[in-house]
Each structure stands twice: as C-alpha cells, then as structure tokens.
Amino acid sequence: MERLISLLGYFAMLLVAWLISGDRRRFPWRVVVVGTVLQFALALVILRTAPGAAVFAAIGTAFRWVSDLSDVGSRFVFGERFLEHPFAFKVLPTIVFFSSLAA
C-alpha cells in the first residue's frame, strides 16, 4: 500500500508541475522520463547489488565522520550547552559546515 501511495504522489507532483507549467505543450516529458529511469536504475544498483550498497555505506560513513567533526566544532564554539538547543547548535552549524565544504 505504501508503494502505491508513493507512486500516486509521484504522479500527483508531475500533474501539478504540468498544470503550473507556463507552456504545457512544451513540457519536458522526455527529461521527466529519463530522470525517472535513471532514478530507478540507481536505486536498483544501490539496493540490489553488493558493490552499490558498499559504495553508499562508505559515503554514509564519510558523511557521519564529517558530521562528527561539525559536532566537535560546535562544541568548541558554543561549549557543552550546544546539545540543549539542537536546532540552533546542531542543525545550523552542520548546514554551515557542509555548505563550506561544498563551496
């Protein structure tokens, strides 16, 4: 049932995108179809193959390591009290940290 709801949600979002499109006749259906196929192909690689799962597990480990570094930096800047206000002292510094990595 959950998969059906997700599938209906996907098509509902496509319908909304098409409805609010400025020129419905020029809606990029090919881009939508290719993107959907690529998404499912990537999901199959990640979920159904051991190498795909291993690569994404390694990526997850790397991001956890960087997140832990962000915690160390937050603790250095804000002290031990940063855990009392998780959004202000955990989420926002993490966003800033990852943004600086991406820049």
Q: How many domains in the chain?
A: 1
pLDDT at residue number 3: 85
Q: Is residue 56 part of a domain?
A: yes
Q: Is residue 97 part of a domain?
A: yes
The terminus-to-terminus CA distance of the chain in angstroms comes to 41
- Report the predicted TM-score, pTM, of the whole model to 2 decimal places: 0.58
Q: Per-residue pLDDT for 94 more than 80?
A: no
What is the residue range of 90's domain?
Answer: 49-102
Q: Which of 37, 10, 72 is nearest to 45 (CA)?
A: 37
Q: Per-residue pLDDT for 18 more than 90?
A: yes
Burial of 74 per CB tally in 10 Å (0-12, 13-18, 19+):
buried
Please give the structure tokens belonging to residue 63: 């991001």
DSSP state of 89: I
Q: Is residue 93 part of a domain?
A: yes
Burial of 30 per CB tally in 10 Å (0-12, 13-18, 19+):
exposed
Q: What angle do CA 51, 57, 58 make, to 5 degrees?
A: 90
Q: Is residue 79 part of a domain?
A: yes
pLDDT at residue number 102: 80
Contacts of 25 (CB under 8 A, 6+ apart): none
Q: Tens digit of pLDDT for each residue in 20-79?
A: 999 889 999 999 999 999 999 999 998 899 999 999 899 999 988 988 887 888 788 888
Q: Is residue 90 part of a domain?
A: yes
